[in-house]
Amino acid sequence: MKKATSFSTKGSSTSVGPLKIQRMLPNRYAGQVGPFVFLDYVAPAIKNEITKKGMGAHPHRGIATLTYILQGEVEHFDSAGNGGKIFSGGAQWMKAGNGIIHDENFNYDSQTDSKYIQGFQFWINLPAKNKAEKPEHIAIQANEIPQIALEDESGWLKIIVGNYEGLSSKIPNYAEQFLYHVQLKAGKQFLLEIADKIEVAAFLPTAGAQLNNAEFQKGEFIEFDKNAGEIELRNTFGQPIDIILFGGEAYTEPIVAEGPFVMNTKEEIIGAYHDFYAGKYGEINLTA
Geometric angle at alpha carbon 78, from 68 and 144, rounded to 5°: 35
Residue 276 backbone dihedrals phi, psi, to 5 degrees: -65, -50
Q: Considering only CA atoms, which of 248, 180, 183, 246 is closest in space to residue 209?
A: 183
Question: Hey, what domains does the chain have and what are their CATH numbers?
Answer: 5-277 (2.60.120.10)
- So what's the pLDDT on residue 20? 86
CA-CA distance, 245 to 110, in Å (whole number)?
28
Structure pTM?
Answer: 0.95
- So what's the pLDDT on residue 283? 93
- DSSP code string of 225-278: -SSSEEEEEE--SSS-EEEEEEEEE---S--EEETTEEESSHHHHHHHHHHHHT
Cβ contact 45:247 at 8 Å: no
Residue 276 Rama label (left phi>0; alpha psi -120 to 50; beta): alpha
Q: Considering only CA atoms, which of 35, 23, 12 is closest in space to residue 262?
A: 35
- So what's the pLDDT on residue 16? 74
If the chain, 288 residues long, is cut into consecutive pieces of 10 residues, what is the mean pLDDT of each piece? 96 83 95 97 73 76 98 95 96 97 90 86 97 97 98 97 97 97 98 96 97 97 97 96 98 96 98 98 81
- So what's the pLDDT on residue 48? 55
- So what's the pLDDT on residue 54? 61
C-alpha distance from residue 9 to each of 6, 29, 97, 244 (Å): 11, 9, 31, 15
CA dihedral 224, 226, 230, 236 (to 10 degrees): 0
Burial of 35 (0-12, 13-18, 19+ CB in 10 A): buried
Geometric angle at alpha carbon 121, from 190 and 173, rounded to 5°: 70
- So what's the pLDDT on residue 45? 78
